[in-house]
Structure 1
Amino acid sequence: MKTSRRGQVPAFEVMEIVERVGQLRADGRDVVSLCVGEPSTGAPAAVRAAMSEAMISGVSTGYSAALGMPELREAIAGHYRRWYGIEVPSRQVAITTGSSGAFLLGFLAAFDAGDRVALARPGYPAYANILGSLGLDVVEIDVSHTDDFQLTTAMLDAAQQEAPLAGLVVASPANPTGTMLDAGQMAQIVGWCTEHDVRLVSDEIYHGISATGEVGECAWSHGRDALVVSSFSKYWGMTGWRLGWMLVPEDLLATVDALSSNLALCAPVPAQIAALQAFGEDVHTQARAANVGYDQARVLAQEFAARQGWRLAPADGAFYVYADISTSLQPGEDSRAWCTSLLEQAGVAMTPGWDFDKVNGGTTVRLSLAVGPELTAEALRRTGEWLTAR
C-alpha cells in the first residue's frame, strides 16, 4: 500500500526523551528532567477550580463556535489591551487546540504547497516539520551569537534574492535559545514583510516570561497582516489543556474559520470554560512567582556553564538555556550520545541540539529550567559529578 512521503517527518526528539524518562522512573530510577518545556507549577488554582465547577455543575461542554467561545475571545482581546495597549477585535481571535493547532491552521490558510517559508535555525522543530508535511519549501537560515540568534532583514534580503519568499516564521522569546526581538527589531521585521508581500507568522507563546521583566513585543503593535500565535501552555502552565489562540488578519479570517470547523470543529470546550479565569490578578501573581524561579534557575545554569567553558545563547526570555558543550564532548562524541550517557548514567535528561538544528546541533544541548531552581541545581550537581568522573 502507498504511504505518504510528505508525512515522513522526524519525530520530536524531546518527546522520545520524555518517554525514556518515564521508563527509567517506572524502573525505580531517580531522574531529574531538564528536557521538556513544561512549567512545574501546573495550571493556576482559579483555572482548576473553574474546571471542577464546570464538571460538577453539569454546564454544557458541547461544541463551541469553530473559532471559540465568544466570552473567551473577548477576554483575550482585553488581555491585549492591558499587556500591549493595542485594540484587538475579538472576532479576530481564534481559539485553537494549543499553539500547534494555530500553526497548522495558519500555515494552511496563508500558504500553498511549494511556497517558500523562511525560519531561523536553530529553532523549534515543529515549524519545519509541519510546513514540510504540508508540502511547503522550508528555508532555514542559520543564526548565531553574532546576531543574538535572531533573524535580521539582511538575512531575509539574501534569502529573497535566491527566490521569492511567501512566508516567515519568527519566535520571540525563541525556543531553544530564549532570545528576544525588541520593539525596533520587530518593527523592522514587520516592515520588511509588508514591503516584500511576505506573510509573517509570529510565535509569541513565551510572552510574559523574561529575564528583563518585559512582556515581549507583539507583531500587531506594528501592523495587522501577521498571524500572531500564543498559548495558555507556558505563562499559564496549562500544557496538557491543549488551548492556544491566534490573532488572524482580516483577509484570512473566513479561511481560518472554515479550516477550523473541518479540522477540529472547535478547541476543547472544558478548557475554554476554565480559561475564562486565566486573566485574574491571582493568576498573574502565580505566574510572576514562577518567573522568579526561572530567573534563579537561569543564573544557576549560567554559572555552571561558565565553569564548564560552555558558550550560551543570550537567554533573555522563556525558560531555556541553549549551550555549546564542545568543551565537554569526548573525541567522536556528539550531543545525542552525550545526552544519552548523561541520562542513563547520571539520571539527568537534557535535549540534544540535533532536535533544533540538523546542521550544527551536534555540539549543543538545550536545558529547560521550567522545573525551577531546586531541581535545576540538583541536575547541575549530578551533571558536574558525572563530567568529573568521565
Structure 2
Amino acid sequence: MSLSKRSQVDPFIVMDVMEAARAAEAEDRQIIHMEVGQPSTPAPLQARQAVVEALQRDPLGYTVALGLPALRQGIARLYMQWYGVDLDPNRVVVTSGSSAGFLLAFTALFDPSARVGIAAPGYPSYRQILKALSLQPVDIPTHAETRHQLRVQDVAVHPLDGLLVASPGNPTGTMLDKTALKALADHAEERSIGFISDEIYHGIEYEKKAVTALEVTDSAYVINSFSKYFSMTGWRVGWLVVPEDHVRSIERLAQNMFICPPHVSQIAALAALESGDEMTKNLAVYAENRRLMLVGLPQAGIAKIAPPDGAFYIYADISEFGVDSRTFAAEVLAEAGVALTPGLDFDPLRGGQTIRMSYAQSTNEIVEGLRRLKAFMQARFL
C-alpha cells in the first residue's frame, strides 16, 4: 500500500526543535524556550472555572456544527468592541482551532490545482495544508525594507486564484495598515481572487491596533483563534468569519469534516471573552519582553530585525555570521541552552539565513535567554 502524493508534506521544523529541547531537558539541562509560539500563561481563570461548573452540570455532547450560538454572538460583539465593526453572528463559524478554519476556507474557496499566494516568510502550515488539499501554494517573497508584508505590486505579477495575508504575521510580528490591507483586498476582489485574512494574533499589539479585513471588505474569509491572545493553545478552539452567502456551504463542510468543535472548549472560550482584565496583564508582559528583545538582541550582535508591531516573535537575519540557520539553532541549543527556530520553516528559499525567536515566555526567562545569547555570540562570532 502506497501513500498519496498529497501526504508528502514537509516537516514542521519547530516541532523538531521542540523535541531536541525536550531531549536536552531530559538530561537535566535548563532550556530557555524561544522556539514556539506558546503563551506561558494559562487559559483565563474565568474560562477554567466555567469548565469546572459545566463538567458538574452538563453531559457536554455534540453542539451544532457552526458552534454554540452564545459563543458566535460573543465573538461578533468582540468585533464591535475591538474595531467598531457590526458583525452578524450568523457569519461566525466556531472551529477546532484556526487549523480547522484553514481547512474549511481552502476547501470552500478553491478547486484542486488552484494557486494560492502566501507571503514568504510566512506560517509554514499554510503551505503544507494547501499541498495536502492538492492546491498550489505560491510563495511571494517579502523583504525587510517593506517589513515583510505583501504589497499589491508583489502580488500582481502572479496569476492567483487565492491570496492569504497575515497581520500581525508569523514569523515577523509586522502588520499591514488599513490602506495597505484595503489595497490587497480590492486587488483580490477586482480579479475574483479568494481573499483570506489570518488574524490569529489580533489583540497582541503594541503601539497601534491591528486592522481586521472586515473593516475594508465583506468578501474576505477571516480566521482567528483563542490560542494566542486568550492563551488557549491546547483547547483547540477558533473561529472563521465568512460572507453571508457562504455560510451554508461552510456548515455542510463542517458537519462532515468535524461534526462540531469541542463542546468543553467552546464553554471555556465563551467565558474567556469576559476576561479582558487578565488579558491586559498578559499583554503588558509581552510588551516588556518585546522591549527587552529589541534592546538585548542588538547588544548580542543580532541587529538585522524588523521590529514587530504585534504577536510575540522577532525574525532576524543572521547571514553575516556565515552559518546556516539550522546549524546556528543547533549550536545555540547545544552550547547556550536556548531553543530557536530556523527560518527554513517560514521561507524555504531564503530561510537558511534567518531565525525566529519567540518572547511569549515569562520576563525572567527572556532576561536569561538574552544573557545566554549574548554570551554565545561573543564567544562564537564577535
Amino acid at match of 2:117: A
1:183 to partner: Cα distance? 1.1
Task: Give the deviation of 1:26 after TM superposition.
Answer: 2.2
Aligned residue number for residue 262 of structure 1: 256
Report the alpha carbon displacement of residue 302 of structure 1 after superposing the two structures with TM: 1.5
Alignment check: 8 A CA contact 1:305 1:311 kept: no
Distance 1:352 1:313 in 2: 16
User: Structure 2 matches for 1:1-390, cutoff 5 A?
Assistant: 1-57=1-57, 59-159=58-158, 163=159, 165-214=160-209, 216-280=210-274, 283-307=275-299, 308-327=301-320, 329=321, 331=322, 333-390=323-380
Residues 297 and 376, structure 1, Cα contact 8 Å, conserved in 2:
yes
Q: Distance in 1 between matches of 2:208 and 2:362?
A: 17
Secondary structure at the counterpart of residue 276 of structure 1: helix
Amino acid at match of 2:239: W
- Paired with 2:254 and 2:18, the residues of 1 have a C-alpha distance of 30
Corresponding pairs, count? 379
Q: 1:99 to 1:309 in 2, by over 3 A?
A: closer
1:189 & 1:31 partners in 2: Cα distance? 41
One-letter amino acid matched to 1:152: R
CA deviation string 1:15-49 (max 9, x = no partner): 12112222222221111100110111110100011
- In the TM superposition, what whole-angstrom CA distance separates every residue of 1:96-130 from its partner, at most 9, and x where no partner exists? 01000100111000000111110100000000110
Shift of 1:60: 2.7
Q: Indicate the percent of aligned positions where both proteins have the same amino acid.
A: 42
Displacement of 1:253 after TM fit? 1.4
Unaligned runs of 5+ in 1: none
| 8 Å Cα contact 1:74/1:90 also seen in 2 | yes
TM-score in terms of structure 1 length = 0.95
Helix, strand or coil: the match of 1:168?
strand
3-state DSSP class of the match of 1:104?
A: helix
Deviation at 1:309, TM superposition (A): 4.5
- Once the 2 structures are TM-superposed, how far is the Cα of residue 285 of structure 1 from its aligned partner? 1.5
Q: Quote the Cα distance in structure 1 between the aligned partners of 2:207 and 2:75.
A: 24
The whole-number CA distance in structure 2 between the counterparts of 1:250 and 1:213 is: 30
Letter in 1 for 2:241: L
CA contact (8 A) 1:353 1:364 kept: yes
User: For the Cα contact (< 8 Å) 1:310–1:326, is it kept in 2?
Assistant: no
Deviates more, 1:84-93 or 1:98-107: 84-93
Q: Is the 8 Å Cα contact of residues 302 and 316 (structure 2) preserved in structure 1? A: no
**Structure 2 alignment gaps of length 5 or more:** none
CA RMSD, Structure 1 to Structure 2 (Å) = 1.2
